[in-house]
């Protein structure tokens, strides 16, 4: 029996994977009954041609309705007690039959009723004299038969022959109507030349007209619509039955029932669909070793239990966004040969109190049935935040959910062989009870990768693209300090897109470098319209940054990479610096030099123009932030000493920090802090002003070269600063020409345009 509850991978079947065929069959039967009831109209299976009452009346008067054999081809008028409509079922000739005509005459005495009857049938022609024709015919008809002929449209009324009124007295009160009428076809009716017709009409408004028209030719029936009666009587019972089925299925744990609202939303990961292993995770070697012990324990528990070791109950992965926490969890799932449940922290919390706690209990109950197994909770800070914090005393639903999670992980009930792996980038907001050993026995820190780790990550992602054999990933890795794994993956993808845009067959070194600059500083905005004055101001500004950098010791730890006046992202120009190695410590001299470099742009504007612009707001913000950290955090102020001022210099947790003060110093100290920050920024601003005043000629020269070439690398800037000569000028890259004619072809295609012809591939790498 146990084998029936396992799939081919040894994992339990996914709930709700098999359809409920009984419910589908029931719904199909009900749908069939509804269609049968509403399409019957008392004439089930009939292939009659539906026509309107006016069309039927016209055909009836023209003799196209079969009247000669009422036993075989009757005219039936069927009505229903439950409906205001009725149906005429009759047979009509497909083609006009051959009719014979016979003369008739009808004596009459004039009255208002007869005048109305004559007008109805269009008999208005009167003979010039009162002398009757010699031959009147052998057919003398009564007024009632005349009325019937008129109703049936059998009185011949053509241009050649009209019924004529002959008066027999001078007072014109008596007379005779002489004319011809149409005889019904004689002989048997040819079945091939007739077809059934059906007419639906309103008994209330058109019933009298139908009776006057058909008279004794029709058979009148009153019957009940059986299917409609069944529907009316059975539909309420069927609806109640369906509602009961849904309720019972919900109580019984059906996959789509209403009671599933409180069930766990943890998804069982299918190993056949997860191809990620530890080979796909790079740059976090220590974290891989930590979690590999869990996989090894699950594979060979005796190795650890022989020494008295027990399986960890929980592992908390902590690190900045994009460092690979979720990727590491996917690798664990790919390596571990056990059931792996995955869920997000936000899937627990709902607006109804108690739902999240119920989901936690249900998740662990399901996991215990298939132990040993792993549960991965992504973004656990959504449910594991501090209890009792915030305005109003906290969040009852989230706190009850957290309480249930704490009890399930380490409570009175044994929870063996179920390992919880969680990930967060805000460990500071988690409840202390969640972090203690016994719940999360170990914290795995997943930091930003170093240079070697970044190179490994680049190599992992480079497997997915066609990389040129001459590409060296080491310089790219060293020039991407501070990049996370997600940013490096984006860099490789952007390089592939750039190479494809250039119609290359492989991704080259230049594509990777451009992708790195695009990810770090933004894409070039060559289409931005800038006046010559603003462009020259930008060149002077960026030249000031570059000269201040090269004239300080900061150039050794933060080399100048490139200066450009092409707008990138929100900036009109960028001075790019790329460190040769990762730095983990900050020195006072370097921070002071960085303030000098940051103020170089504003000082350059003041030296050259005698005026300043608002383009240095970001530089001022950066310099002020560094000075404040030097005084309040790093203790680099001689006047204030090595003391930390303020208690919260990291991210703020509003629920915890809203009622706490972050200021732990007096007003006098606050004034000293402001004075020290102002002194540090002002002194280094004056340093930058002095450097640029002494090198004003070089400043103008570099600005002119930036106007000419738009982009200069660090070596070219240094050469201009030292010698004033540019021995190896760069080639200015011009933007693609814009078409002059509005109808000229461009690379931008609309859905109505023809696709562009394929461009020839360039197999050379820049």
Q: Choose between 309 and 109: higher pLDDT.
A: 109
The yes-or-no verdict on residue 458 having pLDDT over 50 is yes
Q: Give the Cα separation of 114 and 107 in Å (integer).
A: 12
Residue 261 is classified by DSSP as G
Structure tokens at 688: 């930058």
Give the confidence band of 255 by pLDDT, cuts at 50, 70, 90. Answer: very low
Give the confidence band of 388 by pLDDT, cuts at 50, 70, 90. Answer: low
Q: Look at 259-263, 560-564, 741-745 and tell me which has the smallest mean pLDDT.
A: 741-745
Whether 711 contacts 566, CB under 8 Å:
yes
Q: Give the Cα separation of 39 and 487 in Å (integer).
A: 63
Length of the chain measured in residues: 766
Please compute the mean of the pLDDT values over residues 108-121 and round it to a whole number: 78
Distance of CA 378 to the CA centre of its chain: 22
pLDDT of res. 677: 92
Closest listed residue to residue 312, CA positions, set 412, 405, 420, 414: 420
Structure tokens at 125: 């022609």
Where does residue 437 rank: exposed (0-12), middle (13-18), buried (19+ CB within 10 A)?
exposed
Condensed to tens digits (0 to 9), the pLDDT of residues 14-24 reads 444 445 565 56
Order of strands across the sheet that contains 373-378: 267-268, 340-344, 373-378, 418-424, 314-318, 442-445
pLDDT of res. 503: 87
Cβ of 462: how many Cβ atoms within 10 Å? 19
Order of strands across the sheet that contains 164-167: 101-109, 174-182, 164-167
Q: Give the Cα separation of 221 and 43 in Å (integer).
A: 13
Condensed to tens digits (0 to 9), the pLDDT of residues 326-379 reads 888 888 877 777 778 888 877 777 666 667 777 888 788 888 887 778 888 888
Q: Choose between 589 and 747: higher pLDDT.
A: 589
Whether 43 contacts 89, CB under 8 Å:
yes
Query: Using DSSP, how many helices (H) and how many strands (E) does the chain show?
Result: 24, 17
Please tell me whether residue 221 adopts helix, strand or coil conformation: strand
Q: Choose between 661 and 295: higher pLDDT.
A: 295
Give the confidence band of 299 by pLDDT, cuts at 50, 70, 90. Answer: confident
Please compute the mean of the pLDDT values over residues 546-570 and round it to a whole number: 84
pTM over 0.75: no
CA dihedral 104, 110, 115, 121 (to 10 degrees): 0
Share of the chain above pLDDT 70, in %: 77
Task: Output phi, psi for 613, to 5 deg.
Answer: -115, 175
Condensed to tens digits (0 to 9), the pLDDT of residues 477-525 reads 888 888 888 888 888 898 899 888 888 888 888 888 888 888 887 777 7
The yes-or-no verdict on residue 441 having pLDDT over 70 is yes
Per DSSP, what are the bridge partners of residue 176?
107, 166
DSSP run (H or E) holding 721:
helix 714-723
Q: How many CA atoms lie within 13 A of 119 on its CB side?
A: 7
Condensed to tens digits (0 to 9), the pLDDT of residues 195-247 reads 899 998 888 888 888 887 787 778 888 876 666 666 667 777 777 877 777 66
Please tell me whether residue 102 adopts helix, strand or coil conformation: strand
Closest listed residue to residue 86, CA positions, set 58, 63, 53, 54: 53
Highest mean pLDDT among 261-270, 415-424, 520-529: 415-424
Give the confidence band of 271 by pLDDT, cuts at 50, 70, 90. Answer: low
Closest listed residue to residue 162, CA positions, set 215, 196, 220, 122: 122
Condensed to tens digits (0 to 9), the pLDDT of residues 24-63 reads 676 676 676 666 655 554 443 347 888 898 888 888 877 7
Give the confidence band of 679 by pLDDT, cuts at 50, 70, 90. Answer: very high
pLDDT of res. 484: 85
Active-site hit among 542, 605, 676, 710:
542
Distance of CA 196 to the CA centre of its chain: 54
pLDDT of res. 409: 80
The yes-or-no verdict on residue 597 having pLDDT over 80 is yes
Task: Output phi, psi for 584, to 5 deg.
Answer: -120, -5
Please compute the mean of the pLDDT values over residues 597-607 and round it to a whole number: 89
Q: What is the mean pLDDT of the chain?
A: 77
Q: How many CA atoms lie within 13 A of 224 on its CB side?
A: 7
pLDDT of res. 208: 83
The yes-or-no verdict on residue 753 having pLDDT over 60 is no
The yes-or-no verdict on residue 743 having pLDDT over 50 is no
Q: Choose between 299 and 232: higher pLDDT.
A: 299
pLDDT of res. 101: 78
pLDDT of res. 157: 65
pLDDT of res. 624: 92
pLDDT of res. 680: 92
195 catalytic residue (yes or no): no
Whether 766 contacts 510, CB under 8 Å:
yes
Highest mean pLDDT among 411-415, 437-441, 543-547: 543-547
Highest mean pLDDT among 26-35, 150-159, 180-189, 372-381: 372-381
* Helix, strand, coil tally for the chain in percent (to 5): 45, 15, 40
pLDDT of res. 163: 82
Closest listed residue to residue 568, CA positions, set 720, 736, 710: 710
The yes-or-no verdict on residue 588 having pLDDT over 50 is yes
pLDDT of res. 244: 74
Q: Give the Cα separation of 552 and 555 in Å (integer).
A: 6
pLDDT of res. 420: 86
pLDDT of res. 270: 66
Q: Give the Cα separation of 41 and 659 in Å (integer).
A: 75
Structure tokens at 701: 């020269």
The yes-or-no verdict on residue 11 having pLDDT over 50 is no
The yes-or-no verdict on residue 555 having pLDDT over 50 is yes
Q: Give the Cα separation of 672 and 639 in Å (integer).
A: 8
Q: Is-cis flag, bond preceding 372, omega within 30?
A: yes
The yes-or-no verdict on residue 681 having pLDDT over 60 is yes
pLDDT of res. 762: 43
């Amino acid at each position: 029996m146990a084998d029936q509850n396992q799939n081919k991978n040894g994992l339990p079947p996914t709930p709700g994977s098999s359809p409920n065929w009984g419910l589908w069959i029931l719904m199909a039967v009900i749908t069939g009954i509804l269609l049968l009831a509403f399409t019957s109209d008392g004439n089930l299976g009939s292939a009659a041609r539906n026509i309107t009452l006016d069309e039927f009346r016209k055909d009836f008067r023209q003799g196209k309705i079969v009247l000669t054999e009422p036993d075989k081809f009757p005219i039936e008028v069927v009505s229903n007690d439950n409906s205001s409509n009725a149906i005429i079922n009759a047979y009509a000739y497909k083609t006009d039959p051959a009719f014979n005509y016979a003369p008739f005459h009808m004596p009459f005495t004039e009255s208002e009723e007869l005048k109305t009857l004559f007008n109805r049938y269009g008999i208005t022609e009167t003979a010039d004299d009162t002398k009757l024709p010699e031959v009147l015919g052998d057919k003398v008809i009564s007024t009632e038969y005349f009325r019937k002929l008129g109703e049936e449209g059998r009185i011949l009324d053509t241009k050649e022959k009209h019924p004529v009124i002959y008066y027999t007295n001078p007072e014109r009160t008596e007379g005779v109507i002489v004319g011809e009428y149409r005889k019904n076809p004689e002989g048997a009716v040819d079945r091939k030349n007739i077809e059934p017709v059906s007419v639906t009409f309103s008994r209330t408004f058109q019933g009298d007209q139908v009776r006057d028209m058909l008279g004794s030719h029709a058979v009148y029936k009153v019957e009940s619509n059986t299917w409609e009666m069944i529907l009316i009587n059975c539909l309420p019972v069927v609806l109640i039955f369906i509602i009961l089925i849904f309720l019972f299925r919900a109580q019984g744990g059906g996959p789509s029932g209403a009671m599933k609202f409180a069930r766990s939303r943890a998804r069982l990961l299918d190993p056949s669909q997860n191809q990620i292993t530890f080979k796909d995770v790079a740059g976090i070697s220590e974290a891989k070793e930590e979690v590999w012990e869990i996989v090894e324990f699950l594979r060979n528990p005796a190795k650890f239990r022989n020494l008295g070791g027990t399986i960890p109950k929980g592992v908390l992965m902590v690190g900045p966004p994009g460092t690979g926490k979720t990727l590491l969890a996917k690798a664990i799932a790919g390596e571990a040969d056990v059931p792996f449940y995955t869920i997000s922290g936000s899937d627990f919390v709902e607006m109804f109190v108690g739902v999240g706690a119920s989901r936690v209990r249900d998740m662990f109950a399901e996991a215990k049935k298939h132990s040993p197994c792993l549960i991965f909770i992504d973004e656990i800070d959504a449910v594991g935040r501090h209890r009792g914090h915030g305005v109003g005393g906290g969040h009852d639903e989230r706190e009850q959910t957290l309480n249930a999670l704490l009890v399930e992980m380490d409570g009175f009930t044994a929870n063996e062989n179920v390992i919880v792996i969680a990930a967060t980038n805000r460990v500071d907001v988690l409840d202390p009870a969640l972090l203690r050993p016994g719940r999360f026995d170990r914290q795995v820190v997943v930091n930003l990768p170093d240079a070697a780790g970044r190179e490994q990550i680049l190599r992992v992602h480079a497997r997915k693209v066609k990389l040129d054999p001459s590409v060296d990933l080491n310089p790219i890795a060293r020039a991407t300090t501070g990049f996370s794994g997600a940013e490096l993956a984006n860099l490789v993808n952007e390089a592939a897109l750039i190479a494809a845009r250039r119609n290359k067959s492989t991704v080259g070194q230049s594509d990777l470098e451009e992708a790195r600059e695009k990810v770090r500083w933004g894409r070039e905005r060559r289409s931005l319209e800038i006046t010559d004055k603003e462009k020259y101001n930008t060149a002077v500004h960026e030249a000031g940054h570059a000269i201040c950098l090269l004239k300080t010791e900061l150039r050794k730890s933060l080399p100048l990479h490139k200066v450009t006046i092409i707008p990138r992202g929100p900036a009109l120009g960028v001075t790019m610096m790329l460190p040769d190695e990762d730095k983990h410590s900050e020195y006072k001299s370097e921070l002071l030099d960085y303030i000098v470099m940051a103020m170089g742009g504003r000082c350059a504007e003041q030296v050259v123009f005698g005026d300043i612009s608002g383009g240095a707001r970001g530089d001022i913000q950066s310099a002020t932030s560094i000075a404040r950290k030097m005084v309040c955090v790093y203790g680099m102020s001689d006047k204030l000493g090595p003391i930390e001022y303020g208690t919260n210099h990291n991210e703020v947790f509003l629920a915890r920090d809203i009622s706490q003060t972050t200021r732990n110093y007096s007003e006098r100290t606050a004034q000293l802090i402001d004075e020290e920050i102002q002194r540090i920024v002002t002194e280094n601003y004056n340093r930058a002003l002095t450097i640029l005043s002494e090198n004003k000629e070089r400043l103008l020269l570099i600005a002119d070269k930036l106007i000419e070439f738009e982009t200069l690398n660090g070596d070219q800037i240094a050469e201009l600063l030292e010698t004033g000569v540019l021995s190896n000028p760069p080639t200015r890259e011009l933007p693609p020409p814009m078409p002059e004619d509005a109808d000229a072809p461009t690379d931008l295609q609309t859905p109505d345009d023809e696709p562009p012809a394929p461009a020839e591939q360039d197999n050379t790498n820049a």
